[in-house]
Structure 1
């Protein structure tokens, strides 16, 4: 990478007067391509894009080498000839000094700084086609919001969208799935909730979508939160919606996808100010059961042998039982370490090819499952959603792709069966024969195919959601 140095770079971090930029700034509109220097001789291609129009400026970060594009930059600060841009979706910052044709500075993530150089380019970005993502300017109002969870001292950042001059509208809160998720539910190169929010808002609804706590522009710690904690955050967001002048307080609902559907179920069973519930790829089994069945389906699809799949399940069951039968993390680690010794002999015997197919390298240790061994995961792994589903009194729309290999399709039937016998007549289950976990029309229906598909969400699903909400409020 050819390095370019500005005199201003030497004082790049000495500014104390960073101020939020609302309008025009020193960065010219257009595409700025370049690279982050990960290590000497090893560069990572990125781009920064500024879109300007009469409604203001918008900024996007693009990770070219990862084929991941359109990460919204919602915080831009300026000091002199320098900018600090916060990329909330990936918890990173760019700090750059700028002139008319180039920018130089640092990419900062997890307290690590990497040099970067960008040059203004006339060449378009070779983005994967995502025809359902909205183009600016939008035909409705898009507003950045911050909602306080005062009890825990957490600020939840998000976006609310609503029709212009909206009054007395139905409102929907979107709850994303597992893993730290931004408000757009950016996953596998798609932005599912951005597309959903856009389509629903164009149809006259108010839509609120939030960054998970500890993710994006929200504060707090994702890693220490359980389904119960996320349900509390969602409840606070519902209160916020009901106090918006654009919203009909008796028509506020929630839509959850995957683990977000489990959170929605937990919330619905305990909330008196929730009017309807939409569950997309929701579960009626514990997370530990979902992980077991999900891995069996995925590894079978990848071509792993029955012996390797059975061994993977045996290892996972050993992990879960070690957690369940221990009083805390340290005790679980000790118990699991001893239990894995005989299983490692089996793992060695299946060979490296099968190990790769089940994503478990010999020797497997307790450390390999550190993400499951936290005390926080103890609740989520063994919480039974049916205990909440049986208490849901609101109308429920259950949506399920029959090609889903992450939350297997029979969960949808189990959700319907677990609802109270006297459920509202508008409660409905819809299955889609050719849709995957993200509700895309799939061909191979593998997880790896998600990113290859242009479709973010099948239009028939969006249509079903809109029609059902309209029907229950006639």
Structure 2
């Protein structure tokens, strides 16, 4: 009987602690002088704790947390998909701890919110608003190769001539909707609206598994996505459009040349921060520059760079039959620490295809007109190296009609910014610089 009473007492104490920690907690991360508010919502679910995170300035709400624990007044929150961890001690109604993401560690104090937290709407002044001065048509079609359905929006200027330019928009990495929405920014919707008002039509599509498009497969790679875009070219061709171009952002700028090589109905391309260097080299550079923008010490940056290079070489050269198991063993020998989600990501078909990709293979065969643009503060696809590589590849192709252009002071999303850091993306009200919109539309119409 005494044993039972003791167990009940312990359970009651654990429940009391859980009650104390439930609720909404807020704090601010200081990221290179920028204040980034975070709100953590903690609830009870049976005997477990569940939580979610809001990042109001970045327009991100209800980010799911994989695990939440509160033991001995220590709160621990893990979001492996984002490489994020928070551990803090509950003291005097506050939580004092450390926020970690990748190799970045920032002190974070949390204060209980005694009333419901209201997240203020984020101002996105460029987001298109009805009524529109052009025609909009919701469409869908099937990719005959993979049998998946793709859904999207046609924005067609009034009195549009079917020999006038129409562009298929290609999103960057990750599952994105037809507006390429991120932090409440809708860059593809902004571009489509601007183009339509200038006489240029567009087709923007939901990626596989989001919006109106059907789910893809776990084995999908950039090659499958290229098939989707090629199917979109065929769809527009069947509708009678004769001047079809592609506009791809980031990974979309890698996919566009793949499609242009296999589909001769593509007449021109616009590459927005498209990669020109081999993707393993690009990722090493991206990780280094991204870490530098968060204030990571140079020694850590160089150590990470060496570690990433070794890992990517292993992935590129692997010829065995048990890849994930062997990758796990290899990472252990390097002394690196990766969780299961990170290892699974590196082991997936998409990443293995991506890390082996060399844009030159396709770009060096492209002879149609190309406009390649980058922002000077883009750390994800650094401008000088990638534009130089694109220039070299198109020259090798003996392409007589291409232009590369670097926009001063713009980031990966082509926003006017201070540093180009990821943390700025959601803080900036501007979705895309008017300089970029004017450059692209002028080039397309003159082409």
Q: Same fold (TM over 0.5)?
A: yes
Q: Does 1:189 align with 2:164?
A: no
Q: Do the aligned partners of residues 139 and 467 (structure 1) sit closer, same or farther apart at CA in structure 2, a change above 3 Å counting?
A: same
Greater mean deviation of Cα atoms: 160-169 or 457-466: 160-169
Correspondence for 1:299 among 291, 294, 301: 291
In the other structure, the counterpart of 1:273 is 265
Correspondence for 1:244 among 232, 239, 242: 239
Q: What count of residue pairs does the alignment treat as equivalent?
A: 346
Following TM superposition, by how much is the alpha carbon of 1:438 offset from its aligned partner in structure 2, in angstroms?
Answer: 0.6
Name structure 2 gaps, 5 residues minimum.
1-40, 62-117
In the other structure, the counterpart of 1:341 is 332
Describe the SS at the equivalent of 2:153. Answer: strand
In the other structure, the counterpart of 2:230 is 235
Correspondence for 1:211 among 203, 206, 213: 206
Following TM superposition, by how much is the alpha carbon of 1:417 offset from its aligned partner in structure 2, in angstroms?
Answer: 1.1
- Scaled by the length of structure 1, the TM-score of the pair is 0.68
Whether the 8 Å contact between 2:136 and 2:155 is mirrored in structure 1 is yes
Distance 1:431 1:66 in 2: 26
Q: Does 1:466 align with 2:445?
A: no
In the other structure, the counterpart of 1:290 is 282
Following TM superposition, by how much is the alpha carbon of 1:45 offset from its aligned partner in structure 2, in angstroms?
Answer: 11
Describe the SS at the equivalent of 2:338. Answer: coil
- Per chain length, whose mean CA-contact separation is higher, i.e. which structure has more relative contact order (CA < 8 Å, sep 6+)? 2
Q: Does 1:371 align with 2:341?
A: no
Describe the SS at the equivalent of 1:442. Answer: coil
Mapping of 1:98-117 within 5 angstroms?
Answer: none
Mapping of 1:350-365 within 5 angstroms?
Answer: 363-364=337-338
Mapping of 1:8-19 within 5 angstroms?
Answer: none
In the other structure, the counterpart of 2:414 is 439
Describe the SS at the equivalent of 2:387. Answer: helix
Greater mean deviation of Cα atoms: 218-227 or 270-279: 218-227
Q: Do the aligned partners of residues 424 and 319 (structure 1) sit closer, same or farther apart at CA in structure 2, a change above 3 Å counting?
A: closer
Distance 1:311 1:145 in 2: 49
Greater mean deviation of Cα atoms: 285-294 or 275-284: 285-294
Describe the SS at the equivalent of 2:425. Answer: helix
Correspondence for 1:147 among 120, 141, 145: 141
Following TM superposition, by how much is the alpha carbon of 1:423 offset from its aligned partner in structure 2, in angstroms?
Answer: 4.2
Name structure 1 gaps, 5 residues minimum.
1-35, 47-62, 70-123, 348-362
Whether the 8 Å contact between 2:185 and 2:431 is mirrored in structure 1 is yes
Mapping of 1:86-125 within 5 angstroms?
Answer: none
Distance 2:350 2:326 in 1: 18
Q: Do the aligned partners of residues 318 and 193 (structure 1) sit closer, same or farther apart at CA in structure 2, a change above 3 Å counting?
A: same
Distance 1:327 1:257 in 2: 32
Distance 1:377 1:452 in 2: 29
Whether the 8 Å contact between 1:395 and 1:423 is mirrored in structure 2 is no
Q: Do the aligned partners of residues 449 and 376 (structure 1) sit closer, same or farther apart at CA in structure 2, a change above 3 Å counting?
A: closer
Instruction: Give a deviation string over 1:330-375, Cα, whole Å, max 9, x none.
Output: 633333333333432xx6xxxxxxxxxxxxxxx4356532112123
Instruction: Give a deviation string over 1:40-92, Cα, whole Å, max 9, x none.
Output: 5989799xxxxxxxxxxxxxxxx9797359xxxxxxxxxxxxxxxxxxxxxxx
- Scaled by the length of structure 2, the TM-score of the pair is 0.71
